[in-house]
Amino acid sequence: MKADGSGNTKVIEEKGENHMDSEEWIKDITVRFVRYVETPRKVHKENRKHRKQSKEPWLTRWFGMSGMGISMWLRGFRR
């Protein structure tokens, strides 16, 4: 934002590499929606299952290897 002398603020947009105007954005969203609607429900379920399996556990994501080490250490006490 840039303030002029009158107290009003003006939004200055700079067009960069990632800038999309509204028509391109609507076109992109429409294409994605049509692609989603046209694919069968079974494919959606398989994709969701694959994404879920390929994601690393939350403990590792949040705490890295130290979280995994602590969990292994605690498992040793339980046994």
Tokens of 17: 């590499």
59 found inside a domain: yes
What pLDDT was estimated at residue 15? 52
Looking at per-residue pLDDT, the higher value among 36 and 61 belongs to 36
1 found inside a domain: no
4 found inside a domain: no
What pLDDT was estimated at residue 1? 45
27 found inside a domain: yes
2 found inside a domain: no
Domain of 46, in residue numbers: 22-78
Output the pTM of the full model: 0.42
- One-character DSSP codes across 46-77: HHHHHHHHHSPPHHHHHHHHHHHHHHHHHHHH
What pLDDT was estimated at residue 39? 92
As for how many domains the chain has, the answer is: 1
Q: What are 1-60's pLDDT values in tens digits?
A: 444 555 554 544 555 556 678 999 999 999 999 999 999 999 999 999 998 888 887 877
